[in-house]
Amino acid sequence: MALNIVKRLLAGAALLFVVATIVFVALQLVPGDPARTILTGTGATPTEEAVQALRDQLGLNLPIWQQYANFMGQLFTGSLGESLQNGQPVLDLVAQRLPRTLVLIGFSTVVSVLLGVLIGSTAARFGGWWDRIVLTATSVGIAIPSFVAAVLLVYAFGVQLKWLPSGGFVPFERDPGDFFRGLVLPTAALAIGFTGIIARMTRSAVLGIGNQDWVRTGRAVGLREDTVFRRHVLRNSLSPVLTVTGLQMGAMLGGTVIIERVFNYPGLSGLLIDGVTQRDYPIVQGVVLVIAALFVLLNIAVDIAYGFLDPRGRN
Amino acid sequence: MTQLSSLLRQLRRPGAALAAGFLVLLVLIAIFADILAPYEPIAQSADRLAGPSAEHWLGTDQFGRDTLSRLIVGSRVDLLVSFGATAVATILGVVIGLIGGSSRGAVGLLSMRGVEVILAFPPIVFALLIVTLFGPGELTMIATMGVLFAPAFARIVYGEVLTIRNLEYVQASEVIGSRRTRILFRVILPGVVPPVLVQVSLTLASTMLLSAGLSFLGLGVVPPTPSWGSMIGEGQALMLSNPLLLFVSSGIIVATILAFSVLADTIDRGLDPRRAAQVSRTPRARLTPPTTQVIPVNPRKKLEARP
């Protein structure tokens, strides 16, 4: 088991190395001179000296292999470079924003998994009209893009009913109440589709397990239906749910990009979009690398957790 | 063609028929958008932020542009991007999957490892990286999403090929001395079609979702060209003065994505002979609802590695 985890982590590290290389190469593929593009992006036509100065600063005058070596060397020392706009270390910016994004993802995950498992397992267990409602509602829920849900939620609860703030962010230290109130709508927007996915997954897993021999055996030896369901069906249904949860959390690392924009929420994704619009390459590179790293780690974590839950999947 | 008739039988389900009808209608609207749209989609008028009226059925935006016309013409770019990206992803993914599944040694290994690298990015993050570098636009979106969604196809085809390769009819074909390309394209490829078709439908939904998201951020379709995603963005800005714009643009996106996922589900039932026989009426026995894959774009079912 431990060996397996180490192997996974090594494979993950190798993958990240390739990802970093791609991000590096991507910058080389930009048509034209990146330095000039960056300077032109600010509005005025740049002077030749300014372009040269920036090329020096970015190390663009070095041979390409040396640029690559520098880039990788930087990564290994844990630095992600500095913002072109204000020279702040990208790592600091990321460190400041990342926790907020993770809070959002964490909240949405908890809400979606609890609700989704509840809805999905009851739909599978009781069937009938409840099952049909769940099937319809979840397909609609899954089809609503989270940013559409977000905008509609803002319209309903922020603008019309004025129950909740339409956006912004209040740090926990300043006012815990406002902090949580501000998180309600973004969490809900992310959780609508996520809950639908979990509910469907739980439902089909429960239905699949319900036909297994050992479940029938449990009933045959006279266990109460409740016990059979809780101890033998539901518990065994959770490993596919766990996998989907992990994948969805990964997808949310991307999904929060738009949600944070809608709610003007100062998380990691806001940093990314600002980087994109201002063509601040180090920021974009840094954020993309951090997100990819989290994504890879998450997948490894899911694989490992899966191994604990389901001994068959250990190798 | 029993598969075709079984697919058609599935289309008799009311939900499936509705979804298929809606999509056909949408494609027709996109094709004839120029004739159907009552106004030029970018024509401004003095009639600003008007509510629904006989002239403007769905009202106008802050520049007096007709919302209905923009929706109609917007369908064109949305469907084009979505279909284009899906076509690129399908071709790319199927070829990679066929190569990965049928060649042994370094080539096979490399092709599937390459696919894993793309899966290491959440799709929208990858798309944003490309947009930063190459600027927004329809072609960028088609190319980017084509690459992004190819891995799903590659994995499906790869897995299927590994299974099919050892079936008797493929081995029979090998025994009678068919060439490798013939075996690949005439013997193996047809067997891969059903799962690929399902994935095509799911990818249509995913690309529609992603491109709408990018356009919403102002990083996809470039204004003033109307697209549904950017209309939602405009609707958000105008939600106080003209909420209708927000509602209709959100509604059409949700309906289209829903229709694509219902279609995927229908094809899935219709083309899988085991399932078609067993699930004709009740959806109870489903094990993996394909709709779960619409949003995450992560059909990362663990495919067993080569033996």
Q: Which of B121, B132, B133 lies at the smallest CB-CB distance from A292?
A: B121
Cα of A173 to nearest chain B Cα, Å: 30
Of the pLDDT bands very low, low, confident and very high (cuts 50, 70, 90), residue A113 is very high
Average pLDDT over residues B128-156: 86
Rounded to 10 degrees, the C-alpha dihedral A195/A98/B298/B258 comes to 50
What are the chain A neighbours of B258 within 8 Å (beta carbons)?
Answer: 139-140, 143
Interface contact B116, partner A, CB < 8 A: yes
SS3 (DSSP) at A132: helix
Residue A272 has pLDDT above 70, yes or no: yes
Residue A106 has pLDDT above 70, yes or no: yes
Of the pLDDT bands very low, low, confident and very high (cuts 50, 70, 90), residue A312 is low
Tokens of A315: 């190798």
Of the pLDDT bands very low, low, confident and very high (cuts 50, 70, 90), residue A42 is low
pLDDT digits (tens, 9 = 90+) for A121-163: 889 888 789 989 998 899 888 888 888 999 899 888 888 887 8
Tokens of B281: 């009426």
What pLDDT does A311 receive?
63
Cβ-contact A73, A89 below 8 angstroms:
no
What pLDDT does B307 receive?
33
What are the chain B neighbours of A206 within 8 Å (beta carbons)?
Answer: none
Higher-pLDDT residue of A282 and A104 is A104
B46 CB-near residues (< 8 Å, 6+ apart):
B64
Contact criterion met (CB < 8 Å) for A154 and B128: no
Tokens of B20: 């298929």
Amino acid at B260: F
Interface contact A62, partner B, CB < 8 A: no
The beta strands (E) that lie in chain A are given as none
Cα of B212 to nearest chain A Cα, Å: 9
| CA distance to A47, A137, A245, B84, per residue, from B200 (Å) | 49, 24, 24, 11
What are the chain A neighbours of B121 within 8 Å (beta carbons)?
Answer: 19, 288, 291-292, 295
What b-and-e string marks burial along A46-65, b requiring 16 or more CB atoms within 10 Å of the CB?
beeeebeebbeebebeeeee
Of the pLDDT bands very low, low, confident and very high (cuts 50, 70, 90), residue A187 is very high
Residue B209 has pLDDT above 80, yes or no: yes
Average pLDDT over residues B12-37: 86
Contact criterion met (CB < 8 Å) for B120 and A15: yes
Provide the chain A residues 14-53 that lie in CB contact (below 8 A) with chain B: 15-16, 18-19, 22-23, 26-27, 29-31
Interface contact A204, partner B, CB < 8 A: yes
SS3 (DSSP) at B63: coil
Average pLDDT over residues A280-296: 84
Contact criterion met (CB < 8 Å) for A143 and B235: no
Of the pLDDT bands very low, low, confident and very high (cuts 50, 70, 90), residue B82 is very high
Contact criterion met (CB < 8 Å) for A142 and B295: yes
Q: Which of A154, A197, A291 lies at the smallest CB-CB distance from B125?
A: A291
What pLDDT does B81 receive?
93
pLDDT digits (tens, 9 = 90+) for B49-65: 677 776 777 777 777 78
Give ipTM to 2 decimals.
0.80
Contact criterion met (CB < 8 Å) for A257 and B125: yes
- Which residue in chain B is spatially nearest to A21 when comparing CA positions? B117
What pLDDT does A219 receive?
80
How many Cβ atoms sit within 10 Å of the Cβ of residue A219? 14
Average pLDDT over residues A205-210: 82
What is the rounded CA–CA span in Å between residue B183 and residue A310?
A: 38
Q: What is Dmax (Cα atoms) for chain A?
A: 86
Residue B213 has pLDDT above 50, yes or no: yes
Cα of A8 to nearest chain B Cα, Å: 14
Q: What is the pTM (predicted TM-score) of this model?
A: 0.81
Cβ-contact B266, B11 below 8 angstroms:
yes
Residue A195 has pLDDT above 90, yes or no: yes
Interface contact B204, partner A, CB < 8 A: no
pLDDT digits (tens, 9 = 90+) for B162-194: 888 778 888 888 788 777 777 777 777 887 888
Residue with tokens 């279609």: B263
Interface contact A272, partner B, CB < 8 A: yes
Provide the chain A residues 111-140 that lie in CB contact (below 8 A) with chain B: 127, 135, 138-140
Cβ-contact A59, A70 below 8 angstroms:
yes
Q: What percent of chain B has pLDDT over 70?
A: 86
Cβ-contact A265, A186 below 8 angstroms:
yes
Give me chain B's average pLDDT, please: 78
Most confident of B34-48, B89-103, B234-248, B279-293: B89-103
